[in-house]
Amino acid sequence: MKKFLISLILLLIAASVAFYFGWIQFLIPDDGHAVVFSRTSGWEDEVVEPGTFQWRWERLLPTNMSLYIYHIESQSLEISVEGTLPSGEVYRTILEDRPDFSYRISGRVNFRIRPDELPLLSQENGLRPDTIDDFHDELSERIISEAQGFITRQIIENEPVLPPGVLSDALLEHLTTRFPGLDIATVTLRSVEVPDFALYAEARSLYLALAEADRDAVASLAQERALRRDRSEQMQQALRSYGELLTEFPVLLEYFELGIDPLRIQELVPDLLMESP
């Protein structure tokens, strides 16, 4: 009986020790989320939430299990978009008051990593608790670039531009689609300055009309120059023929000195000179 009690006590102690070392719940703080990796089982697909009972037999084996605890904090970043409507600097020069066709939009985006994405990020992206700040910086750059591109397209493709509230909602939906692993909490556009699109359209139409008129004028001038060149070539050919005739029949010069022009050749020369450019 005594041996049985001793064995039972030892068994209870061993079970208590095993329970203690396998119990990982107390290792996770209230504001933390954990990802489990063990050499025997690999990466777990589910994130370990605080406040839930969690026990792992893998932790009973020395150096077998690693517990990565992440503190996910909400991130806030500023977005700013500045630019000019296509060819706006050119179009404004043809209007008397030279209007400004530039746009300026600024706002803020609040986001955080979704906790259920931590196992995948840890396994495939190599995310670790000590690299999460760098990961946030990289995410911020990508979000800013994506937001700037989206807003710029909305301004150029939509005339008039969507109201600030509608544009904010559209950007929120776009970022949520582009970054499914993030919780995009809010998108707020504080300042939206856009040009007069009606005036821009008027300036563009006027510019295109002037450009078309310039092309017609250039084409007309080129045609006129071609005609003048043809007439000049015809005159030169006629003068060469006239010179060859006098060379072949020098007696004609004697007739000319006497005021006689039996072939009426001299009458052609003034007419040719009058047609020259």
- CB hemisphere CA count around 44 (13 angstroms): 17
**Based on the domain organization, do 128 and 46 belong to the same domain?**
no
**Based on the domain organization, do 93 and 189 belong to the same domain?**
yes
Q: How many domains does the chain have?
A: 3
Torsion from C-alpha of 186, 190, 196, 197, nearest 10 degrees: -10
Measured between alpha carbons, how far is 22 from 17 in angstroms, rounded to an integer? Answer: 8
Crossing angle for the helix pair 197-248 and 268-275, to the nearest 10 degrees: 160
Q: Which residues of 209-225 are buried (b: 16+ CB within 10 A; e: fewer)?
A: eeeeeeeeeeeeeeeee
pTM above 0.75, yes or no: no
18 is in which domain, residue-wise? 2-70
pLDDT at position 133, please? 92
State the DSSP code for 163: P
Report residues of the chain scoring pLDDT below 50.
8, 10-22, 271-277
**Based on the domain organization, do 168 and 211 belong to the same domain?**
no
**Based on the domain organization, do 66 and 90 belong to the same domain?**
no
Q: Which of 166, 195, 224 is the last residue of a domain?
A: 195
pLDDT at position 112, please? 94
**Based on the domain organization, do 176 and 89 belong to the same domain?**
yes
What DSSP string runs through 60-88?
Answer: GSTTTEEEEEE----EEEEEEEEEE-TTH
* Number of neighbouring beta carbons within 10 Å of residue 58: 17
pLDDT at position 268, please? 55
**Based on the domain organization, do 172 and 191 belong to the same domain?**
yes
* Model pLDDT for residues 99-120, shown as the tens digit of each residue: 888 889 999 999 999 999 999 9
Q: Which of 70, 88, 120 is the last residue of a domain?
A: 70
**Based on the domain organization, do 113 and 151 belong to the same domain?**
yes
**Based on the domain organization, do 190 and 244 belong to the same domain?**
no
**Based on the domain organization, do 35 and 141 belong to the same domain?**
no
Strands 102-113 and 42-43, sheet pairing: unpaired
**Based on the domain organization, do 191 and 212 belong to the same domain?**
no
Measured between alpha carbons, how far is 74 from 184 in angstroms, rounded to an integer? Answer: 10
pLDDT at position 109, please? 95
At position 53, the amino acid (one-letter code) is F
Q: Which of 25, 53, 70 is the last residue of a domain?
A: 70
**Based on the domain organization, do 8 and 36 belong to the same domain?**
yes
pLDDT at position 36, please? 83
- The CATH number covering residue 134 comes to 3.30.479.30
**Based on the domain organization, do 32 and 135 belong to the same domain?**
no
pLDDT at position 55, please? 60
Look at phi and psi of residue 242 and say left if phi exceeds 0, alpha if psi is from -120 to 50, else beta.
alpha
